[in-house]
Every structure is written in C-alpha cells, then in structure tokens.
C-alpha cells in the first residue's frame, strides 16, 4: 500500500514509516517530492486537526486520489505558556523550521519558571484522506517537561529540551526504537496502523 505523506521532512517521514512498517510491512510512504508536488501547503487552521486535514487533502488531491493522503500536524504545548507554542511550534520564532531560534525563544520565555512548573506535552494529530473521500483523524500525546540546556544529538525540533521523566532522558537522547515506542507520533501512528489494518 502506498500513501503520500504531506511532508518533505525526511526525519519525520523516516520516523512514521519505521513505526508503520513494524505493523504493516507492505506500507510505503511517498513524500510530496516523490509525487512532484511543487510549493507549500498553507497551514491556516487553528487546531492540529484542522492543519492535518488541510495537508492530507492537498496530498490526496495532488496525486489525483490514486493514493491516500496522510498528514501530521504536531507541536509542543507548554502549560506555563498557556499551551504555546502549540500549532505555531515550527514557526514559533518567526521563520518556519528554524529549530535553533525556536528553542532559544522557548528557553527565554521560560526563564524564571521552576523546573517542576515546566510541564509540557508533545502532541501529534494524523489525518488520513482515502481515495474514496473518507477522512480520519488520530491523536497521540506524550507528557514531559522543558529543561534549560539541550541534551542529546538525535531527533529534531524541540527534542533536546523535552525531558521524559520515566526514561530520565530527553527525546534527543533516546534511540529511535525508544522514542518510537513512547512518542506522541509513535502513539498516533500505532492507531493509524490499527485503522489501516481494518480498511
């Protein structure tokens, strides 16, 4: 089964495909580049679900509904910041995808807040649009807290600052297998695998 993931982020694509293939070995993910999609998809929704559906529909339409369209909208929600950066996680500091700037702004905005009050959650919403037009959304969350100093060299985005208490590590210190087993994306993709197995 081939599915178009509305992304060019190779880290995200590899992560989703690795989790999916442990459940459904025959699944192959195509990227926007693989189907010749040019340009960007405007994410103007106010929730993760809205943004994921916008992207999944665009991916399905771009390939003429030959394949299902899949999209992930994910982000970091920090309790002490009223849920920010939320849906703006990738462009928190202004420019889309500038991890260093986003992390620097996050740490600045949490200055003076005690470690115990820096609780946060990674949220992932997946939207699936099938060739017949049916749509599904799935959601996964992982709770942790934000630390001041980055740790680890793996992962991407906010991973070096997201400390996961049960493992005593940041997401950037986890192996791919460890992260996939407990991450917000891993939880959502496992739900997706269950859904795909029933379709």
State yes or no: is 148 an active-site residue.
no
Write the CA distances from 60 to 26, 57, 197, integer angstroms. Answer: 19, 5, 20
CB 183 within 8 A of CB 123: no
Residue with tokens 């192996």: 175
**Burial of 55: CB neighbours in 10 Å, binned 0-12, 13-18, 19+:** buried
Local structure of 59: helix, strand or coil: helix
Local structure of 81: helix, strand or coil: helix
Give the DSSP letter of residue 117: G
Q: Count of alpha carbons within 13 Å of 189, Cβ hemisphere only?
A: 27
Catalytic residue among 33, 34, 40, 73: 73
Which residues are designated catalytic?
73
């Amino acid at each position: 089964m081939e599915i178009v993931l509305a992304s060019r982020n190779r880290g995200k694509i590899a992560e989703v495909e690795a989790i999916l293939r442990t459940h459904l070995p025959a699944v192959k993910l195509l990227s926007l580049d693989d189907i010749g999609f040019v340009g960007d998809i405007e994410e103007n929704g106010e929730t993760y679900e809205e943004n994921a559906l916008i992207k999944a529909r665009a991916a399905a339409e771009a390939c003429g509904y030959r394949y299902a369209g899949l999209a992930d909208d994910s982000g970091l929600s920090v309790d002490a910041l009223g849920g920010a950066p939320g849906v703006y996680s990738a462009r928190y500091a202004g420019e889309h995808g500038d991890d260093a700037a986003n992390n620097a702004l996050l740490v600045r905005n949490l200055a003076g807040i005690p470690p115990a009050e820096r609780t946060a959650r990674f949220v992932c919403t997946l939207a699936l649009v099938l060739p017949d037009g049916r749509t599904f959304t799935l959601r996964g969350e992982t709770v942790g807290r934000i630390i001041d100093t980055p740790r680890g060299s793996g992962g991407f985005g906010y991973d070096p600052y997201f400390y996961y208490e049960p493992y005593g590590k940041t997401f950037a210190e986890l192996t791919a297998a460890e992260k996939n087993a407990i991450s917000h994306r891993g939880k959502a993709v496992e739900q997706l695998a269950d859904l795909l197995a029933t379709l």
